[in-house]
Amino acid sequence: MGWRARVFVTPKQGVLDPQGKAVQQSLHTLGYPEVAEVRIGKFIELRLADVSRDSVETRVREMCDRLLANRVIENFSFTIDPENP
């Protein structure tokens, strides 16, 4: 069975995010002063084949821990859905 995993990686609170700060300042300049904070992260979509439902979550978590997110400065979350044939 095929699966689609959507991984969201964001900087941890307290970690400097210069790109987010630049976007926040630009939004203020464009007339959006209500934007209190911007954090820039990554969105990663994975398609997995020939993996059981029991192991797909474990495999995606391992991928995040080992490569997709730097656990020192980033958090991650993910969703997994069956892929339509």
In this predicted model, what pLDDT tens digit does every residue of 11-62 receive, in sequence order? Answer: 999 999 999 999 999 999 999 999 999 999 999 999 999 999 889 999 999 9
pTM (predicted TM-score)? 0.86
Domains and CATH numbers, the chain: 3-82 (3.30.1280.10)
Buried b (16+ CB within 10 A) or exposed e, 44-82: bebebeebeeeebeebbeebbeeebbeeeebebebebee
- In angstroms, rounded to a whole number, what is the distance separating the alpha carbons of residues 6 and 68? 12
pLDDT grade, residue 85 (50/70/90)?
A: low
Asked if pLDDT for residue 1 goes beyond 90, the answer is: no
- In angstroms, rounded to a whole number, what is the distance separating the alpha carbons of residues 38 and 17? 8
Please count the residues of the chain. Answer: 85
